[in-house]
Structure 1
Amino acid sequence: MTNLSPPRTDRGRALLVLTLAAAVTAFTATVPLLRDFFDLRVYYGTVHTWVHHGGRIYDYHVPGTAYGFTYPPFAALAMLPLAGMGRHTAIAASLLVNLAALAVVLRILAGPGRQRHGWYRWSLALCGLALFEPLRDTFSFGQVNLVLLALVLGDSWLLATGRGRWAGAGIGLAAAVKLTPALFIGLLLLAGRRRSAGVATAVALAATGLAAWADPGASRFYWTEALWDTGRVGRLDYVSNQSLQGVLARLGEPGRALWAVAALLVLCVWAARTRRALTAGDRAAAFALTGATACLISPITWVHHLVWLLPSFAVLARAGHPRIAGALYAVLCTSVVWLWFDDASGIDGFLGSNIYTWITLGLLLGLPAGQSSAARPPLARSANDTAPAPSAARPATVAVRDQSESSSGAGEAAAATGTPADADFDRARSASREPTGSTRPAASKPQSSSSRASSYTVNPPPA
């Protein structure tokens, strides 16, 4: 039997990396359908309609579709730089911001030992990340999930390094842009970090108030109507919805009562497991459990939202389970749920179409937590949110072996270039490149349209 061993020379390693990079590039360019920056088109069209044409935030729809802006009003305010960009600049800015956010996430998750891995291991890791379906969808949609993850992880790093004065601001900003990260305020409370939880809440409320001042009508509409209308986002039973609500909807139970009970049970499990992790000083596991729980209890968790599972794989690998982490990660690279796009009935449909949800639920129930032998990190302390920075004499007493510390901040949004707004953000594309499709085309999808007109016209929708 041939024994396949990794190359031992730099030349051999470089050749392997180049080969893998070429294979990954060929795969991502041909097998999964790219999303044509559909969500970025929503952001871009919304901001341009609002700023340049006097339209209303929640009236805009991508031409040819029924889908428009679904985030809180502060998100539109944060995306105002798009108003000064043309379409190509907006795409470039989206890619750069997501790359910067990914760099922050990787630096924090890798921890202080990241330099030991060297260029070879990092190159292999980047090839693997390029295959991760939630990550490639985030880039291809022009989504904001990575930026939010970087903001929240940044707060975790501040607490871990004793720089907790402004910890919570990142969580507050992320929760003002999208509601899902608000669960991390609950994590701060469970950890006894009351000051940081207060900062997060204050920042979220201040950002929301700023948006209400900028556009009172939009804020009133969102918090009284749009927030409760999940139909604005897409069909609950659509196969891309890998939340508990998605599972129930595909079973024919789209009602809120059963989902509320399931979500409450999940929250109870999360609270119990997170407390155990925090008591043992396992901050990394507590963070990972919170990310998985947020994905489960959200009414809609599209596949690209599952970037919040990345910390769970880091925890599994550090806890001595790299094979389990690799196997679960590999499943999330396959786009396997789309095999049941047309029909999710039967046992195979129940198991297969929800497999990403089962992975998330399995991580919540089985992720190693509370097994760290390192000293309790700052997040797990309950006495003081502003512990002094670690001294040079004993740096090891602050670092947590199974979680990351890094000196990088979250990626900044690209600055406006002053380029005139381009009226033609997109050109017509074929129906086989629908935004929510994956390895196969389909006729109609909840976040797009089968008769998709891909241009943003200078005539805004009726105000």
Structure 2
Amino acid sequence: MRGPRRSGGVRARPARLRPRTERGRLLLVLLLVAAVTAFTATVPLLRDFFDLRVYYGTVHTWAHHGGRIYDYRVPGTVYGFTYPPFAAVAMLPLALLGRTTAIAMSLLVNLAALAAVLRILAGPGGGRHGWYRWALCLCLLAMFEPLRDTVSFGQVNLVLLALVLADSLLLTAGRGRWAGVGTGLAAAVKLTPVLFIGLLLLAGRRRAAATATAVAAAATALAAWVDPAASRFYWTEALWDTGRVGRLDYVSNQSLQGVLARLGEPGRPLWASVVLVTLCVWAWRARRAVAAGDWPAAFALTGIAACLVSPITWVHHLVWLLPSFAVLVRAGHRRTAGALYAVLCTSMVWLWSGDASGPDGFLGANAYVWVALGLLLGLPAGQPRAARRPLPRSASATAPAPSAESPATTAAGDQSESSSAAGAPAAASGTAAGWRREGGRSPSSEPTGSTCPAAANPQSRSARASSYTVNPPSA
């Protein structure tokens, strides 16, 4: 026998398998939580808040013991503070906290930043998804390696991402008066967001670019006023010595420079050429996105390019790829987004941490770089809104055809549950209301440069190294 047909002679699609009751949904969420817990307890490496220990020790040494910002090193390692001086100024509140309290505050700040990022990526309609979809989203995020490492290291990536996305939200909503403030603050804390100022210039948003530049300059000047010696050392010496951060060929370095270093070609001329080509591709694609008013895609492309061209991009830095997955879902490419996202949840690059030679090492040890390159080249940007799939209609609920006197309108009630569950694509035009994101993104974990083998070069001159590093604060 033939299966049932919808009115109009079209075969009805089988219902998707999903729990239809609250009890079923709760059971599914509990099963996913158990699976995620088992995964995070066995596959990823937990980082024991190493980077937070760097921040904490640096600030306590500087504020309470007269030490120098760039002389502190975590006892037993050569790793110390590597950010611009303003980052240390911004972290001064750590000097008032004990270690346990500092860890708790780090978790709270990262959770708040993640909530802000998700709210921006979800767009104005994010609140209608309900607890079930958000629970699924959080389960998937808990497996995303860059996000997992950011939290486990006590890193600042999520906070910086939230600051930059706030500017994207302002530009998307047409409220650009304060756009640039978030980008400027982020660029003063870490150099990766500087490329977003380039995006504002590329887009002709001179006011926003000027605001970002002024904020970054003011923050940098404040740090120079607070500690002139630290600022002088950072901008004249530390900034140009990538060896302070870690080995370029370490597998955690998922940048173009990391690929070349693992191939035995760490020379700067070749790297500079590759970076120039990458930036040209980024500029071309970002301009198309901006011309169409697709600010979410433009910001996502900039985050991808920043990770690729940076000399060192530890795996936890790849949280800057999160907006690109939201763009993919918005454009209707959910399977592609899921496949690429799954790669970033596997921690697969660590299989080649000891030996990245050979064809398998070239492909596997650089897997996250290939994902980033694929997103840079193929991310939907500056395109019209993806067409929605036809919605099933029953014989008892068929909308009448529009007439000339009654133009057709789109009612919110016409959207099926399956369409909303997958995340309806957001507008990619100049009037785009915001970012929409499917409740499915999975995070995973990975070590950063802080845990990589000791670099050949110390993080600061040993002659000025603080003796306080031997006796870290016991608070």
Aligned twin of 1:76: 88
Aligned to 1:172: 184
Aligned residues: 402
Q: Distance in 1 between matches of 2:308 and 2:198?
A: 15
CA shift digits 1:165-222 (9 cap, x unpaired): 2210110000000001010011111221110100000000000000001001000000
* Matched ranges for 1:145-294 at <5 A: 145-294=157-306
Q: Which amino acid aligns with 1:403?
A: W
The reply on whether 1:65 has 2:77 as its aligned counterpart is yes
CA separation of 1:49 and 1:157: change in aligned 2, threshold 3 A: same
Judge conservation of contact 1:315–1:402 (CA < 8 Å) in 2. no
Which letter does structure 1 place at the counterpart of 2:272?
A: A
Are residues 459 and 117 of structure 1, via their aligned partners in 2, closer, same or farther at CA, if it must alter by over 3 Å?
closer
Distance 1:13 1:223 in 2: 54
Contact 2:315 2:446 in 1 (8 A): no
Structure 2 equivalent of residue 29 of structure 1:
41
Query: Structure 1 residues 41, 10: CA separation in 2 closer, same or farther (over 3 Å shift)?
Result: same
Identity of aligned residues (%): 78
Confirm or deny that 1:403 pairs with 2:403: no
Letter in 2 for 1:103: A
Shift of 1:444: 4.0
Does the residue aligned with 1:242 lie in a helix, a strand or coil? coil
* Residue number among 325, 328, 335 corresponding to 2:347 in the alignment: 335
Between the aligned partners of 1:105 and 1:372, the Cα distance in structure 2 is: 24
Taking a change above 3 Å as real, the CA distance of residues 445 and 353 of structure 1, as seen in their structure-2 partners, is: farther
Partner Cα separation in structure 2 for residue 172 and residue 115 of structure 1 = 29
Contact kept? 1:293, 1:364, Cα under 8 Å: yes
- Contact between 1:244 and 1:296, CA under 8 Å: does it hold in 2? yes
Structure 1 residues 11 and 355, CA, compared in 2 at 3 Å: closer, same or farther? same
Residue 143 of structure 1 aligns with which residue? 155
Pick closer, same or farther for the CA change 1:65–1:320 going to 2, 3 Å: same
Q: Is the 8 A contact 1:73 1:218 kept in 2?
A: yes
State whether residues 372 and 402 of structure 1, in contact with CA within 8 Å, keep that contact through their aligned partners in structure 2: no
**Displacement over 3 Å in runs of 4+:** 396-399, 433-438, 442-447, 455-460
Query: Secondary structure of the residue that 2:123 maps to in structure 1?
Result: helix
Q: Is the 8 A contact 1:39 1:141 kept in 2?
A: yes
Separation (CA, whole Å) in 2 of partners of 1:332 and 1:79: 30
Closer/same/farther in 2, CA of residues 265 and 335 from structure 1, 3 Å limit: same
Maintained 8 Å contact 1:282/1:402:
no
Mapped pair 1:98 → 2:110: yes
CA 1:254–1:437: 2 relative to 1, 3 Å: closer
Deviations 1:136-160 (A, max 9, x none): 0000000000000000001111222
* Residue 119 in structure 1 maps to residue 131 in structure 2: yes
Query: Any conservation in 1 of the 2:253–2:449 contact (CA below 8 Å)?
Result: no
Contact kept, 8 Å, 2:315 with 2:447, in 1: the verdict is no
Residue 6 of structure 1, CA deviation: 1.3
2:117 paired with 1:85: no
Per-residue displacement from partner, 1:7-44 (whole Å, max 9, x unpaired)? 11000100110111121112212321100000000000
The answer (yes or no) to whether the contact 2:286–2:298 under 8 Å persists in 1 is yes
Is 1:42 aligned to 2:58, yes or no?
no
Question: Within 2, Cα distance between the matches of 1:313 and 1:60?
Answer: 38
- Give the AA of the match of 1:322: R
After TM superposition, the structure 1 stretch with the greater mean CA deviation from structure 2, 76-85 or 14-23, is 14-23
In 2, Cα distance between equivalents of 1:4 and 1:194: 49
**Where in structure 2 are there 5+ consecutive unaligned residues?**
1-14, 387-426, 438-444, 459-467
**Which residue does 2:407 correspond to in 1?**
none
| Residue in 2 that maps onto 1:306 | 318
Bigger mean CA offset, 257-266 vs 129-138: 257-266
Are the equivalent residues in 2 in contact too, given 1:38–1:435 (CA < 8 A)?
Answer: no
Q: Distance in 1 between matches of 2:57 and 2:436?
A: 38
Decide whether the 8 Å contact of 2:58 with 2:80 is kept in 1: yes
Distance in 1 (CA, whole Å) between partners of 2:82 and 2:363 is 30
Once residues 4 and 207 of structure 1 are traced to their aligned partners in structure 2, the CA distance between those partners, rounded to angstroms, is: 53
Distance of 1:8 and 1:338 partners within structure 2: 40
CA contact (8 A) 1:157 1:404 kept: no
Are 2:55 and 2:81, in contact at CA under 8 Å, matched by a contact in 1? yes
The answer to whether the Cα contact below 8 Å between 1:161 and 1:398 also exists between their aligned partners in 2 is no
Letter in 2 for 1:319: A
Moved more, 211-220 or 22-31: 22-31
Correspondence for 1:109: 121
CA separation of 1:445 and 1:239: change in aligned 2, threshold 3 A: farther
Letter in 2 for 1:20: L
- CA deviations 1:255-275 (Å, max 9, x no partner) are 211111111110000000111
Aligned to 2:12: none
Question: Which structure 1 residue ranges, 5 or more long, are not aligned?
Answer: 375-395, 406-432, 450-454
Q: Work out which of the two has the higher radius of gyration on C-alpha atoms and give 1 or 2.
A: 2
TM-score (normalised: structure 2): 0.81
Provide, for residues 44-98 of structure 1, a one-character-per-residue CA deviation record: whole Å limited to 9, x for no partner.
Answer: 0000000000000000000000000000000000000000000000000000000
